[in-house]
Structure 1
Amino acid sequence: MRYMMIVKASEESESGALPTEQELAEMTAYNEQLAKAGVMLDANGLLSSSEGARVTFAGKGETTVVDGPFTETKELIAGYWILEVASREEAIEWARRVPFGPGGQVEVRRVATEDDFGDALTPELREREQRLREAEEQRRDELAR
């Protein structure tokens, strides 16, 4: 099962403050543990919302774009990990080991699979999704060379 561990933003992360050398060293050690255990598929930190934008959909083809920063810090994320683990409990155990101090928060959510969409994901749509995944994998392989 795939789980995403979502790092909640804080006033500090939204201020644009970057981690200290010590914090980066601790996070690198944690990421090395994930990699050594073979569970980490992806991980990244995000810059503050001042570097982002929000796109809101009003109707067919109608959108509104609002540039950051955004005021509701509790609704923002500052980073993530995607893990391949055997269970929700294992994902939670990894989340408990994140080297955050008081006030840090990580949300653990299961990543949806094709089966979660039931009959709405028709065989034709499944085939199209599979082709997209294969094309993306090929693109990543070519970039890695």
Structure 2
Amino acid sequence: MRFLMMTVDDGTPQGPVDDELQARMGAFIAEMSRSGALLATGGLDPRATHIVAKDGKAEIVDGPFSESKEFVAGFALVETRSEEEAIELCRGFWAIVGSGRGTIQRVYGPDGD
């Protein structure tokens, strides 16, 4: 089973990232990679291209989008045996980071069930 775990930036000010947090996160990512659970991870540029499609025609939509108060700031694509295992990986992430918001969504499709 594959899951996409996303962190959300809702505009809440964050403190500086210190060396200890970076080291703990590096070890966490390395362990997930060694176990085979981590398939991909990364941070996302807050600037995005917005597309609206209608009747098979896609168009770029200009911003700014005042209704958008938060955005996906980072992600991890993981492969686990169960949703509970994905939730535990997510708990491990938040135990290091401290505070924030995120989502976990099951990924369907090729190689994802």
Larger radius of gyration: 1
**Range 60-69 or range 35-44, more displaced:** 60-69
Counterpart of 2:57, as a letter, is G
CA–CA distance in structure 2, aligned partners of residues 62 and 47 of structure 1: 22
Shift of residue 71, structure 1, vs aligned partner: 5.0
Superposed counterparts of 1:27-46, under 5 Å: 27-46=25-44
Q: Which runs of 5+ in 1 are unaligned?
A: 117-145
The structure richer in helix per residue is 1
Alignment partner, residue 9 of structure 1: 9
* 2:80 is the counterpart of 1:85: yes
Q: Deviations over 1:60-106 (max 9, x none)?
A: 325242245765234x211111111100000000000112222x122
After superposition, the CA RMSD in angstroms is 3.0
Q: Which runs of 5+ in 2 are unaligned?
A: none
Normalised by the length of structure 2, the TM-score is 0.76
Normalised by the length of structure 1, the TM-score is 0.61
Does the C-alpha gap of structure 1 residues 37 and 70 become closer, same or farther in structure 2, counting only changes over 3 Å? farther
CA–CA distance in structure 2, aligned partners of residues 4 and 91 of structure 1: 9
Superposed counterparts of 1:1-145, under 5 Å: 1-12=1-12, 20-22=17-19, 23-48=21-46, 51-67=47-63, 72-74=68-70, 76-98=71-93, 99-102=96-99, 104-113=100-109
The structure richer in strand per residue is 2
CA–CA distance in structure 1, aligned partners of residues 62 and 22 of structure 2: 31
CA–CA distance in structure 2, aligned partners of residues 11 and 105 of structure 1: 11
Equivalenced residue count is: 110
Counterpart of 1:20, as a letter, is V
Does the C-alpha gap of structure 1 residues 71 and 90 become closer, same or farther in structure 2, counting only changes over 3 Å? same
Q: Which has the higher contact order (CA 8 A, sep 6+)?
A: 2
Shift of residue 31, structure 1, vs aligned partner: 0.8
Quick one: percent identity of the two aligned structures? 24
The 4+ residue runs of structure 1 with deviation greater than 6 A are: none
CA–CA distance in structure 1, aligned partners of residues 77 and 57 of structure 2: 31
Shift of residue 44, structure 1, vs aligned partner: 0.6
